Amino acid sequence: MRCLRTKLEDELLKEKEHVEAIRAHILRDAEALRGNVRPSNDYTETVLAAILQNQSRELIKSHRQPHFARIFFKEHGRAVKEDAYIGRFGIFERETLQPIVLDWRSPIANLYYDDSFENVSVEVDPKHPLTFDLERKRQFEFRDGSLEAFYDSENGALIDRLLLERLSARSGDKLQDIVETIQAEQNRIIRADARENMVVQGVAGSGKTTIALHRLSYLAYQKRNNAAHTQFLVIAPNRVFLDYIANVLPDLGVEGVTQFTWEDLTHHLLPKKTKFASEERKRALFFEETDNGKCEEQRVTVLAARLRGSMAFAKLLERVVEKVAKQMVPDADLVLSPRHQMTKEEIARRFFEDYRYEPYLKRRKRLLDSLSRFAQDAIKDEIARFDKRLTKGKYADALEQSAKIRAAIEERYERFARTVKNIDIYALYRKVLMSENNVSRVLATLSDDTELNEQTKRYVLTRYADSDSSWEWEDSAALLFLTRQFHGFASDTRFAHMIVDEAQDLSAFQIFVLTKLSPNATLSIFGDISQSISPYKGLTSWDEVTRDVFLDRASYKTLEQSYRSTVEIVTFANRALRHHQTPGIPLAKPVLRHGAEPEILKTSEAQEVALLIELIGRVQSEGFKQIAVIEKTMAACSAMQERLQKEASYALPLLSEKTERYEGGLHLMPIYMSKGLEFDAVIVLNPSANAYDANSSLHAKLLYVACTRALHRLYILQKDSLTPLLK
């Protein structure tokens, strides 16, 4: 035993010396890099300087903890055993290019993340994958920049130990990187081929957002191009969420990625005059009305939204666009003079073949430009012919005659040009919606309830009859699609890869539009159908995306393990979904991290405020800082905020769409704002039978989202009788 301990201590000493040697190298290298960066006007030198600066930044970041793991392995067919250190960033000998620490994104580092120890395939060169056996994985524990210990393992148990440690210590401040504990199933998603479209269904807390961002980092590393990050787009649900994830990408070595909410993207791409009605009325309809009389309106609203978010509608619009485009080109020859004519076939060939890569209104412009040039050439030619005759002295008033020739040809051209139709996409779209036939046909593909279909059709026809009415967000996909087909998108929205998070709240048509943003772009789509809490716009199944948008050519992956919450919290949250599970969508399985049982605290109207304040104090005194007090709706939040102020002069800040910066801490929020975020402790206010109907899958999902936001503690403050969903 004594001997063994000495051996371990010796090994630790060696590892410590190695860390110091790497640190000395880092300092030397960073100094050398700084010396090489010189300001210059030359493009190549500027790019080089940016790369050097980037490398120098990464080196400095590595100084505190140069690596987190070491692997011992043997390549098949080779006798020698090898080993490698793995860190957040690669460190190498500049002269010999020998690696000192491998970047976690490098091909060999895959050995560390794979769950198998034998026959692990690694694509150093995609054409010739190599196979390895892994002998051991070693993890290092650094505290305050000093190497304290290491742990060896010949199986996966090691990562599990570290994972549990990390999850227990996690505080829901802002999202963090997980490079030390990426799980094998997550690793496969992060490292999936950049050329493939991917849909990931992951339960709450399975790390979707986290690995989506690690995937960007991995793809940027693969490109090894300083401008790579500018080719990425992240689509996320709201500004608060974007703020919440803001720190991770720079930590992962990727900066300057474009990040948009769907609303931002829409405003960016559509003319400023396009006004959308606020979502408030709909949220109120679904979240605040408990009156059954509203049921009818809810069903019509859902179907009217599904109509405009469906791929059947997208296909209908595609057909409309094709038909309208055909009508844009006149069915007549352009006759400018007996010698200057262009056949309708030639005009159509230009429009449909020569300019086929352009959107239709750009084609129209190009066609008119070319016809105008043709007309100018015709004018010149006719005047020249006339001039020749003039030299023979046949006409007296030359100037007047030239002007007449010019005017006649120009008039014929203008008359013809007016028949090359211009298209107002807004009027076109309204016309599509006002067609009973169109609307009925699409509705029939979505529902066989003829009465509901009829009511929905009436709703749409009435809603859009007034040409001044504002648009609904459900129209944004169609308007963007028509914009793309007729005007094209600005070139600053060309991306190589797009990450869509919380995609369950987008429609299939919205995702289809994203696939059209840039030619050749691929998408990684992350979401959870069990958290689809916007019934008036979101997806009900991934089939709509994999089958109808990607035509079965996207890979579909699932994540079932939930890392965020304790076993007790996940089990409690799963209760809500028990009777409302979407077929094919599994319930969350917790990682074996235990904690306190969720507590249901009974209270009364008179005591509610005092108990809430006391509970917040109790949670804070346990050292938890990120705390969410969650209500079902914004109206209920405002009411509680007011009561706290009035009854106890207690200020509880509200998290809303208007919140610009998210700094963490204690907040009151409606469930839909808590989506995607996480907190040390969550207090759910009064989930009563009245507010959460046992038969409503929407209400079940709302509770599931609320409860799964908690990392360590979950409390239910129950004033009225508890909803059966949580019993």
- CB 594 → ligand ATP: shortest distance, Å? 16
- CB 172 → ligand ATP: shortest distance, Å? 7
DSSP 496-535: SEEEE-SGGGS-HHHHHHHHTTSTT-EEEEEE-GGG---T
- CB 672 → ligand ATP: shortest distance, Å? 13
Q: Which of the 8 DSSP states describes residue 463?
A: H
Can you tell me the distance from the alpha carbon of 620 to that of 612, in angstroms, rounded to the nearest whole number?
12
205 carries a ligand binding annotation:
yes
**CB under 8 Å to 236, separation ≥6 — which residues?**
242, 245, 259, 260, 261, 501, 502, 676
Nearer to ligand ATP, 166 or 267 (CB): 166
Nearer to ligand ATP, 402 or 561 (CB): 561
Nearer to ligand ATP, 203 or 683 (CB): 203
- CB 571 → ligand ATP: shortest distance, Å? 16
- CB 163 → ligand ATP: shortest distance, Å? 5
175, 247 Cβ separation under 8 angstroms: yes
- CB 629 → ligand ATP: shortest distance, Å? 18
- CB 675 → ligand ATP: shortest distance, Å? 7
202 carries a ligand binding annotation:
yes
Which tokens belong to 515? Answer: 């696939």
Nearer to ligand ATP, 163 or 508 (CB): 163
- CB 670 → ligand ATP: shortest distance, Å? 16
Can you tell me the distance from the alpha carbon of 649 to that of 643, in angstroms, rounded to the nearest whole number?
9
207 carries a ligand binding annotation:
yes
Can you tell me the distance from the alpha carbon of 17 to that of 42, in angstroms, rounded to the nearest whole number?
42
Beta bridge partners of 715: 599, 683
670, 634 Cβ separation under 8 angstroms: yes
Nearer to ligand ATP, 162 or 334 (CB): 162
Nearer to ligand ATP, 71 or 163 (CB): 163
Which tokens belong to 641? Answer: 């905020």
Nearer to ligand ATP, 186 or 603 (CB): 186
Can you tell me the distance from the alpha carbon of 451 to that of 455, in angstroms, rounded to the nearest whole number?
6
Nearer to ligand ATP, 58 or 678 (CB): 678
554, 196 Cβ separation under 8 angstroms: yes
Q: Which of 179, 47, 186 is nearest to 103 (CA)?
A: 179
**CB under 8 Å to 509, separation ≥6 — which residues?**
308, 309, 310, 311, 313, 314, 477, 478, 481
DSSP 538-568: S-S-THHHHTTTTTT-SEEEEE-EE-SS-HH
- CB 38 → ligand ATP: shortest distance, Å? 40
H-run or E-run covering 200: strand 198-202
- CB 183 → ligand ATP: shortest distance, Å? 5
Q: Which of 482, 465, 537 is nearest to 270 (CA)?
A: 482
Nearer to ligand ATP, 159 or 312 (CB): 159
Distances (CA, A) of 140 to 25, 26, 137: 19, 19, 10
Nearer to ligand ATP, 247 or 274 (CB): 247
Q: Which of the 8 DSSP states describes residue 475?
A: G
153, 87 Cβ separation under 8 angstroms: no
The burial of 581, by beta-carbon neighbours within 10 Å (0-12 exposed, 13-18 middle, 19 or more buried), is given as middle
The burial of 582, by beta-carbon neighbours within 10 Å (0-12 exposed, 13-18 middle, 19 or more buried), is given as middle
- CB 77 → ligand ATP: shortest distance, Å? 33
478, 508 Cβ separation under 8 angstroms: no
- CB 178 → ligand ATP: shortest distance, Å? 4
530 carries a ligand binding annotation:
no
165, 181 Cβ separation under 8 angstroms: no
Distances (CA, A) of 142 to 163, 178, 248, 664: 15, 15, 20, 26
Interface ranges with ligand ATP (CB under 6 A): 163, 166-167, 170, 176, 178, 181-183, 186, 202, 204-210, 528, 531, 563-564, 676, 678, 708
Nearer to ligand ATP, 445 or 558 (CB): 558
Nearer to ligand ATP, 55 or 598 (CB): 598
Give φ, ψ of 573 to 5 degrees.
Answer: -65, -35
- CB 240 → ligand ATP: shortest distance, Å? 13
Q: Which residue has its beta carbon closest to ligand ATP?
A: 207
Can you tell me the distance from the alpha carbon of 81 to that of 558, in angstroms, rounded to the nearest whole number?
36
Nearer to ligand ATP, 54 or 558 (CB): 558
The annotated binding site for ATP is made up of 202-209
